[in-house]
Structure 1
């Protein structure tokens, strides 16, 4: 057994002359680096020059947009849109008795009934698209949480299915519902 181990180590040394064996028998590659002694100020200057020459972290501009990245971003944006609208309305509803606003159901129905049809459809579309997308993409994420649909083709298909169902549901709700 020991002779086999010694033979293997010998072969490794012959194959890679830059490697050396540690006392414990592990192979370690030696890398010779040119170093120089520098004062604290010189070291700070070198570091500053290196930081300037360093590439910036990868950003959105270098990546090709894919359905997964776009859907993830849109899911966050639609969640913020919906929750922001809910918070704003909730705060306004709570502040209404103190400010003199009339946000009770009868007043809201009468106000919306007085709007032109194009404004009504615009407001419905503004809330329908984020609602349907966030809901359907949430179902997609719940499926992923139980381990369903993780293959690349399934992820791409489910992403485009969410987009298509969002368009159909939102258009139906905006114009018919």
Structure 2
């Protein structure tokens, strides 16, 4: 039905004499093209620009005119932001510490360091009790938070606990459980 209306409207436009001459003036007849008697004409620009613009400044100028998306400054901070950022940071800290220690352990005999278990345990045992607890808590907190928050993310992957209230509750639960677990590991 719509295609018939479109066809009728286009035929009516072509039937009017003024539309026919103006629309057909743009196209050459197939016979003219076949015989080579058709010359394609393209208009040229005859105006000169008085104020030339440096091409390297066009893109920066366009960027200034683009709309700016709202950023963190207009939103109220939430536990999901902090948990997401801390999940990435703690993962980087835990893996980074592992890589640094493993690399140091591998090159220790060449350099002359003593990083074998007995010397590390003896050096750690010589520290005061508060220093031991703080070091153990500092090592345990990133690992426990990253592990428990990873379980939270796996729960989300199964489509569970996705409402706003559940996300907030599980976020604070992860913070509390990871702090308690890190403290328990530090006091061992």
- What TM-score do the two structures reach when normalised by structure 1? 0.70
In structure 2, list runs of 5 or more residues that go unmatched.
Answer: 8-46
Distance in 2, Cα, partners of 1:139 & 1:55 = 38
Structure 1 residue 91 displacement after superposition: 0.2
Query: Which of 81, 93, 97 is matched with 1:81 structurally?
Result: 93
Q: Give runs of aligned pairs for residues 165-176 of structure 1, distance below 5 A.
A: 165-174=177-186, 176=187
Distance in 2, Cα, partners of 1:38 & 1:49 = 22
Distance in 2, Cα, partners of 1:162 & 1:82 = 17
Distance in 1, Cα, partners of 2:48 & 2:175 = 59
Q: Give runs of aligned pairs for residues 34-53 of structure 1, distance below 5 A.
A: 41=52, 48-53=60-65
Q: Give runs of aligned pairs for residues 1-177 of structure 1, distance below 5 A.
A: 23=6, 41=52, 48-174=60-186, 176-177=187-188
Change (3 A) 1:38 1:124: farther
Structure 1 residue 48 displacement after superposition: 4.6
Structure 1 residue 120 displacement after superposition: 1.0
Structure 1 residue 56 displacement after superposition: 4.4
Change (3 A) 1:85 1:47: closer
Which segment drifts farther, 44-53 or 88-97? 44-53
Change (3 A) 1:49 1:104: closer
Distance in 1, Cα, partners of 2:96 & 2:60 = 42
| 1:124-147 deviation digits (Å, cap 9, x = unpaired) | 111121111101001111111222
Distance in 2, Cα, partners of 1:151 & 1:59 = 23
CA RMSD between the two structures: 2.9
Structure 1 residue 23 displacement after superposition: 3.9
Secondary structure in structure 1 of the residue aligned to 2:175 = helix
Distance in 2, Cα, partners of 1:92 & 1:51 = 47
**Total equivalences in the alignment:** 146
Distance in 2, Cα, partners of 1:58 & 1:89 = 41
Distance in 2, Cα, partners of 1:169 & 1:144 = 22
Structure 1 residue 55 displacement after superposition: 4.8
